[in-house]
Structure 1
């Protein structure tokens, strides 16, 4: 079984720096697990690692879509599988860094995603996304609650893509999305490193990260996306962009939009940590409080690779 190293955790806990260190030590090549870093031109709001910062470590699934294109979990799984095969074949260690928990789980386990040809369900997904535009996300979620209450309980109202995914599975297969993910078989021999620290520190670092993004030009980047039509695109749903669109339409103040970015980022970090603790086996470390823990991570990865 091919080995895959993953590094997950909330924003601003040191994932990028650690990934570079481990990649150099273990001949790693990095696959971004972030569904927003695939978009060209969305650099600041996605905290994208730029070419000059990559220290000659190969990075993949960055800048592979235009902002008006969709990018699905099926796309991520398919492209990541190909990359894992190629990296492994040349003696490298595939590393998945960052991203959403669902994307990672879909890759590491044999999830069917409502069918092997998930990407063929575009019409069904479009129907439900259009429904949400007309009736709102709450109404969309209420519909899911009627047909699959267990799935609705685990999926936030605001996670439109995942609500739509659950409805699509039910419509296409007649089976409940909540029943699709039992007894999953691992696709890879994975070692998942989770980075976290005290919640107050995480929130403080998130606020600082957002301030830095604003200083380096986030508002201009978001405005360009908005003027290009991003409000209607998947790329425009990302945190750091969607909160600024009402400001551009003079519906809220800039200060209110900025606070909303920080709030949404904090809430997302909390949801992701909860998800990871219940969905996949993670080895947790705090490198913010104690940087010497990095040596423990290195030894744990070495031991896993030798098995």
Structure 2
């Protein structure tokens, strides 16, 4: 059976840095499991690896869409599976790195997400609900129809909320239970975490660094195209700065909101991975040798024969 390693955890904890080291040492290639790094020209706010880092090892599912293109979980699932199958045939380590939990769940659990036209008759009504009542109204609809999905998916993403509503309305089953029952690959999930005060400090410092790198210009680009960038405009790192560009708030207030939302997002990520997946967790402050330990466990995992 195909063996796949995934590195998960909250934002700013160091997933990308570990992924680069593991890929270099173990003949691996990185598959981004982040829902925002697919977009071209959105580099700072999405915390992509630097151009130098991207050249160190091959990266997949990074910079594959323009910001005005729609990209679904189903798109990720198919593309990632095709890449993993190809890498396995080449005797390379498929290494999924990212913090978008539902993306990874769709891959691991082989979720049946339906075809492109599934729920198409429902979508216009949901778009009208979003236009009139905003994301909060969509969330209310989902919570009433499918409380399980409400607790599991990224409810701050309106397109993901709409998709979950479409699935429950058209199939009668939750999008979180659309599993076809087959196991196509063996996954080893490595989770990075840190003591909460240290993690939150890392997040705050990352935001400050992003600002120094030019986040405001990138966010202004998204703001100026917000009617076209329907998915990208909802990304944390961009939407919090919109009131500043609109003259409705000062910059410090917006940056405070950005840091707060990033911390809340980290908390949601941890909750999702802890509750929904079997993850081998490492506290990066408590275990100074975690990188070596993880590398050795991956080597052992890749050498094991699956009885599935």
TM-score computed with the length of structure 2 as normaliser? 0.92
Pairing partner for 2:224 from 209, 222, 227:
227
TM-score normalised by L of structure 1: 0.92
Q: Which residue of 2 aligns with 1:80?
A: 80
1:65-99 Cα shifts (integer Å, max 9, x gaps): 01111111011011111111111111111110013
CA distance in 2, matches of 1:247, 1:24: 41
Matched, 1:269 2:251: no
- Structure 1 unaligned regions, length at least 5: none
Q: Secondary structure at the match of 2:105?
A: helix
The residue that corresponds to 1:306 in the other structure is 303
Deviations 1:254-296 (A, max 9, x none): 1111111101110010001011011111000122443312111
Equivalents in 1 of 2:88, 2:154: separation in Å? 36
1:295 alignment counterpart = 292
Alignment-derived partner of residue 63 in structure 2: 63
* Separation in structure 1 between the aligned mates of residue 136 and residue 70 of structure 2, nearest angstrom: 23
In structure 2, list runs of 5 or more residues that go unmatched. none
Task: Please state whether the residue corresponding to 1:250 is helix, strand or coil.
Answer: coil
Q: Check the 8 A contact 1:8/1:195 in 2, yes or no.
A: yes
In the other structure, the counterpart of 1:137 is 135
The Cα RMSD (Å) is 2.1
- For the residue of structure 2 that corresponds to 1:189, the secondary structure is strand
Deviation at 1:232, TM superposition (A): 5.3
Structure-1 separation of matches of 2:249 and 2:228: 16
Distance 1:64 1:55, change over 3 A: closer
Question: What whole-Å deviation, never above 9, does each CA across 1:212-246 have from its counterpart, x for those lacking one?
Answer: 00011000111012113357511111000011112
Give the drift of 1:32.
Answer: 0.5
Shift of 1:24: 1.4
Runs of 4+ aligned structure 1 residues displaced above 6 Å come to none
Aligned length: 304
